[in-house]
Structure 1
C-alpha cells in the first residue's frame, strides 16, 4: 500500500482483449478438439445422473460391456432354433451405447466450449488493477479539486461503497456509478464496440463497468459490487454455463422424458419371457438395445445443448441473460412494452416547420426561434438553427447577450439580448407561465390560436415548442410555434405486424401527451400506448397485464425504470443505464439498443421451437425402431411377426445393431441444428405446431427407416451378421 499525490495518469501499456461479442463458426474442428476432454470427463456417473435419459443409456452401456467381457467364459449367445448370434454382437452393441453417451456429452461440451472461448477474452479484463481511494473524500468541498492524498490499493481489495478516482488512461477497477465528473470510456472489451462512450454523474448514463478504460478527463466512481460479483464475473460464469440453472420448461420436459423412460423400462422387462433369446446373455443385450432405442435419447442428449446454445445466441448479439429462465420467458412473452424515443422513433426530433401567430411577421418569428436555439447543443436545437439557415435566417448575438440554458425546472431555454429583450422557447404551459410573471398577460386571441396550432401539431404526431419574447418593460407576446417531428424507424410497422401474427401485443410507452402518443402509435402500428408515463404508471400497467395472464417484456435504463424492470417477466436493462436498472433487469443489452428487445423475443421463441421440434423428431423415431427391433426379438417365438420386417433387414442381429447405430449417429447429425436452432418464422402457435409436425414429425418417421436400412446394407457384409 502506498500514498501518492494526484496527477494525470499516463496511458498504460496493455493489450486490448478481443471483443466479447466475437462470433465464431457454428461448429469448427477446433471447437470439437477443445470439447473432446469434456466429453470424456462427463462420463462420471455423478454428472450423468442429472440427465435421467442418458443415465439409463450409461447403465445399459455398463451392463452390455460386462456381458461382452463375460461371454468368452460362459459361451457365445445363441438364438432359439439354433441360429448362431455373432460373438461380436454384444461387444458391438456395448461400443455403440458408449458412443451414444459420448456423442451426447460432445454436444453439451461443444455448446459450453463456445461460451468458454468468450469467457477467456473476458478474463483478460478481470486482471487486478490499481485503484486510488481519496483519504479524506468525505471532507472535500470540491470533489473535482482532489487535493488530498490518494491511497493505492488493488482492485481485489475494494469494498462495496468505496469511492475511487479514475483518470485518463487508467482502467476502472470495479463496477460502479460516476458520482462526479464526465469522461469518455472505452468499453470495447465488454461490448465489442470500438467507439468510446460518455459516462457522467447523474442521469441515466452514470454506470461504469470494471475492466473498461477511461480515455479522457477524470471521474469519481462509487463501487457498487464486491470482488467476484462484478458484471464481468457474472458474464464469465453465465457464458461458461457454470451457473446455468435448469429452466422450468426444461425441468418439466425432463420429467416427461423420465416418465416415458420408466414406462419403456417396465414394458421391456415384461417382454423378456417371450423373447427369441431366452436364458442367454443375448436376451439382456437385445432388451437393453430395445430400451435404449425406444427411450427419447435424441432429445435427452441434446436438451442441455439447446439451452446453452440459446443463451450463447444472446451473447453473440451482445445481450447478457442472467438466467435461462429469462430466455425461456422471452419466448412466451405476450405483451411487449417499448419506449418511444430511440426504439420506435430515432429519438432525435428535428424541426420541420415554423408557424407564426396572426399579426407576427414571419421574419421576426424565424429570428427569435434561431436566437433561442443558438446555445442549445441538443439535436433539436441544432435542427432549429439548421432549418432557420435553410430559410435564410442568419443572426448572431452580440457579446453582451446572455445565454439561458434549458433546465428541468423552467422547461425553457433562450437568450437575453443586450437591449433588454428576452427570447424563450419551450413547452406551452411553461412559456405562458413565464409571460404571466409579474402581472403579465397573454391575449385571449393569442392563447386560443396557440392552442389550435399546438393541437394540430400534436395530433399529427409532432411536438410543439412555443417561441415568445418579452421586452424590458415586461410586455410580452407569443410569436409562434416550432414543429418538432419524431421520425418512426423504417420497417417497424412490418415487424409489429409479425409480432401481432405471433400473438404478441405491442405497447408504446412515452412521456408525450396523449394526442402526440396516439399519432405516433398509429404511424408505427403498435397495438396500444401509455402516454405521459410515470414510473408508477409503468409498474401498474405491467401488474395489470400480468394479472390478466400475460407475460410482459420491457426495456429501461434509468433508476426510475428499476421497479418496472424488476416486475416484468423479461426486463432488459441498457448497459449505459444505472446500476439500479441493471440489477433490476434479468437481461442486459451491452449495445444499449432498445429495439433489440424484438430480437430477444425471437431468440426465446427459437429456443422453445427448437426444443419442441427435436422432441417431436425424437419420439417419432420410435416407429421405425419398432419395425426394426420387435420382429428381431420375437421372430423365434412368433414367426408371423416376420411380416413386420418391412425394411427387409438382413438378420435379427443386424436389425438390432442397425437401430442402435442409427440411434447414436443421429445425435451427431442433429448437433448443428441444436446449436444453430430451428429457423424461426413469425406465426401463431397453431401454425408453428402444424409446421413442426409436418417437418420434424414426418421427418422423424421417414429418416430412421432410410437410415436403419442403409446401415443394415453395410452390416450384412460383416462376417457372422
Structure 2
C-alpha cells in the first residue's frame, strides 16, 4: 500500500462492536439496545432542566397537541385545587405538571446531547489571518502577491494561500497544489488526508490545518454559511424539520386527543344523568390517561435522537426526512472512484519483455515519472522506490517532459537519452516515429492488464538518436478499499441491492465489481445515465440511496432519496446530497440505514407500547369512577385497587413515570436486526404490545399499595 493509500485509510467498526447496534447477539430479556451508562446521567438531566422549563411555554407545546392538552389539564386542576383544596386534587395537579415536564425534559435531553458537539465545533470558528491573493497572473497562483486579511472578511470566490502549519480560513476547493491536511477537529480521525487540485479530493473545510506543502484555496462560502456553521445548527436541532411520518403521527395523536376530549365531555353529562356525578378533577385525570401521552411526550426526542446518532457516527444529516428515508432504502448506488476504490489508480506491478532487465525497466519508469505530478505518476515513483529502497531526484541538466492530455505521455531527456511513459497507443506511436519496432510481447501484456480491469502504461526509451525501444508495461489498478466485500455482504443481508456506477469500460467495471462484491454495475456511466437509473428505480417504487464524491455525482445525489456525499469530495457534491459522511467511508451507509430503521422501529414500538398501556389505565380509572353508582363494575377492578382515589392517583403517577423510564430507549433506539417486515411486526406486537399491557398492571398495583398509605387517599 503506498503512502497516499495509508493517509486515506479509515477505520471501520467490526460487526458486533458497539459501533453497530443490532449486529451482536440480542439481550435475552430485552429487545432494545443496552443503554450505556453515559446515555442519561444526573448531570445531563440538570443541564437539560432549564430548557425543559422553557418548553413549558404553551406556544412551544402547540406543536405537540397531546402535551398541550395535559398542560391545560394541569392548569385546570391547579385552579380547582385552589378553590377546593384536597389531597387528591393536589396529588393529581402535581403529577400532571410533572407529566408535562417529563415530556419537555425528554426533548431537552435529546437536544442537549448535540450541544456538546456544537461547542467543540465552535472552536473551529476562531478568527484567523488569511493570505488573500491579489495578483492577476493565473499561471502560477502560489507565487502571486498576497495581503493579510481577517478570515471573517473572506467572500466566496476569493483565493487564499495556505502553507504548512496554517489553518484553512474557510470552506473551499484546492485549485493549485497538493498538501496533507489534519481534519481531526471535524472528523475525529487522527490520520491526515491528502487534498489536491484537479480531482474529487479538492474540498477543504474551514478550521482544518495544513500539515505539509502549500495550497491555493478558492473560498466557496460567505461568513456564517460555512459547513461548520451548518453542522452547528443541525446538531443543536435548531434546523431539524419534522419528517412526513412524524407529521402524520402527530395528526393521528391530535385526532385521538380530540376524540377523547369529546368522550370525556360526554362522560360528564352521562355520569350526571346516571347519578354518578364526576368532578372535573377526575375527568381531567381520565382524559390525560386516555390520550397517548407516552408517545406524544417522546415523539420529538425520538426524531432528534435519530439525527444525533448519525452525528455520533460522523454522518451529518441535513434533515430528519433523510434519516427517515434511509430506513426504507431498497437500492444503493455507489460511485466507484473514491467510494469503492481509493479514488486514484495505483501502480501495482511492472511487466518486462524479453531482452530487458528488470532494473532497466524500473529505472526508466522511475525517470519518466519524475515529471508526472498526477496521482498515478506519483504512485509509480512510490512503488519503485519501495522496491529498490532508493530515492531518486531529478538528474542535473535533465529536461522534464510533463504529462499532458494531448501527448498522453510524460518523460525526461538527459545526457542524450529520451525516456517516455504513457498510454499504450501514444508510447507505441512514439517508438514508431523514431524508427523503432513494435513488440508482440508488449501488446500481449497490454491486453492482459486491460482484461483484468487495469490500465496499462507503456515505457520506452531512445538513446543517442537511435530508434527507440519498448521496455515494458506498468500495471495501474483501482485499489478496492479494505473490507468492502464483507460490508456489501452485510448490506445484502439487510435486503439492499448494491449497484456500482463508473465511467470505466465494461471489462474494468466487471473486474472491480467482482473484487468488491457488489450485486450489479453500470459501466461508462455519464451523469445523465446515473440520473436515468435512479429515476427508473424510483418509478419502480423503490427508495434509492446514492454515495458519491465528485462534481459529476451532484445531479444523482440531488435526485436520490438519500444522497450521501463524501467529505473528501467536491463542494458541489456535498451541497447536492442530504447527508455528508465526515469519514468518507461509503460503507457507512450500513450505519445510516440501520439508524434510519432504528428511528422507524423505535417510533412504532413506543407508539404500540403507549396505546397498549392505556388499556390498563382504563381498567384502573373507569371502575373507580362508576363503581359507587354501578356496583357491578367492580368486576372490572381486576387489579383490586384500594380505593377510587388511590386508583386515580396511581394511574396518573404511572402515566408520568413511564415517560421518564422510556427516555433512555428513545435516545438509544430499539435494536435493529435484519429481518422481514412481518417478523419485525410480530416482534413489535409481542414485546411492546404485550409488554405495554402487562407493565402498567404491575406498576399501577405497586403504586396503589404506596399511595394507599397516604392519608386522605
Query: Is residue 33 of structure 1 aligned with residue 41 of structure 2?
Result: no
- Tell me if structure 2 keeps the 8 A contact 1:204–1:577: yes
Aligned with 2:530 (options 527, 533, 538): 538
RMSD: 3.5
Query: Is residue 144 of structure 1 aligned with residue 142 of structure 2?
Result: yes
Match in the other structure for 2:22: none
| Aligned partner of residue 141 in structure 2, secondary structure | coil
Matches within 5 A, 1:686-701: 686-701=678-693
Match in the other structure for 1:288: 284
Displacement, 1:560? Answer: 2.2
Displacement, 1:34? Answer: 0.7
Aligned with 1:669 (options 646, 651, 661): 661
In structure 1, C-alpha distance between the alignment counterparts of 2:201 and 2:551, rounded to whole Å: 10
Query: Is residue 371 of structure 1 aligned with residue 369 of structure 2?
Result: no
Match in the other structure for 1:172: 168
Matches within 5 A, 1:230-629: 230-275=226-271, 282-345=278-341, 360-361=354-355, 363-364=356-357, 367-368=360-361, 371-373=364-366, 375=369, 378=376, 380-381=379-380, 384-385=383-384, 406-413=403-410, 418=415, 420=417, 422-424=419-421, 426-435=422-431, 442=438, 449-450=444-445, 453-454=448-449, 456-458=451-453, 463-469=454-460, 471=462, 481-482=473-474, 488-489=480-481, 491-629=483-621
In structure 1, C-alpha distance between the alignment counterparts of 2:180 and 2:482, rounded to whole Å: 31
- Tell me if structure 2 keeps the 8 A contact 1:498–1:683: no
- After the TM superposition, which of the residue ranges 334-343 and 101-110 deviates more from structure 2? 334-343
In structure 1, C-alpha distance between the alignment counterparts of 2:403 and 2:117, rounded to whole Å: 44
Aligned with 1:45 (options 54, 58, 67): 58
> Alpha carbons of 1:281 and 1:412: their partners in 2 closer, same or farther (altered >3 Å)?
farther
Query: Is residue 658 of structure 1 aligned with residue 650 of structure 2?
Result: yes
| Aligned partner of residue 160 in structure 1, secondary structure | coil
| Aligned partner of residue 605 in structure 1, secondary structure | helix
Match in the other structure for 2:118: 119
Match in the other structure for 2:5: none
Displacement, 1:557? Answer: 2.3
In structure 2, runs of 5+ residues without a counterpart are 1-18, 20-35
- Tell me if structure 1 keeps the 8 A contact 2:326–2:597: yes
| Aligned partner of residue 229 in structure 2, secondary structure | helix
Displacement, 1:224? Answer: 2.0
In structure 1, C-alpha distance between the alignment counterparts of 2:700 and 2:316, rounded to whole Å: 42
> Alpha carbons of 1:275 and 1:544: their partners in 2 closer, same or farther (altered >3 Å)?
same
- Tell me if structure 2 keeps the 8 A contact 1:499–1:682: no
- Tell me if structure 1 keeps the 8 A contact 2:66–2:291: yes
Displacement, 1:702? Answer: 1.5
1:565-613 CA-to-partner distances (Å, cap 9, x unmatched) read 2222222222232222222222222222232222222222221221121
> Alpha carbons of 1:156 and 1:492: their partners in 2 closer, same or farther (altered >3 Å)?
closer
In the superposition, the TM-score normalised over structure 2's length comes to: 0.85
- Tell me if structure 2 keeps the 8 A contact 1:122–1:232: yes
In structure 1, runs of 5+ residues without a counterpart are 1-20, 73-86
How many residues are treated as equivalent by the alignment? Answer: 672
In structure 2, C-alpha distance between the alignment counterparts of 1:703 and 1:622, rounded to whole Å: 11
- Tell me if structure 1 keeps the 8 A contact 2:268–2:278: no
- After the TM superposition, which of the residue ranges 370-379 and 218-227 deviates more from structure 2? 370-379
- After the TM superposition, which of the residue ranges 648-657 and 31-40 deviates more from structure 2? 648-657
Displacement, 1:398? Answer: 7.5
> Alpha carbons of 1:113 and 1:537: their partners in 2 closer, same or farther (altered >3 Å)?
same
| Aligned partner of residue 565 in structure 2, secondary structure | strand
In the superposition, the TM-score normalised over structure 1's length comes to: 0.84
- Tell me if structure 2 keeps the 8 A contact 1:276–1:635: no
Displacement, 1:517? Answer: 2.1
In structure 1, C-alpha distance between the alignment counterparts of 2:160 and 2:383, rounded to whole Å: 41
Match in the other structure for 1:7: none
| Aligned partner of residue 125 in structure 1, secondary structure | helix
Match in the other structure for 1:11: none
In structure 1, C-alpha distance between the alignment counterparts of 2:479 and 2:497, rounded to whole Å: 22
Displacement, 1:184? Answer: 4.1
> Alpha carbons of 1:129 and 1:355: their partners in 2 closer, same or farther (altered >3 Å)?
closer
Match in the other structure for 2:202: 206
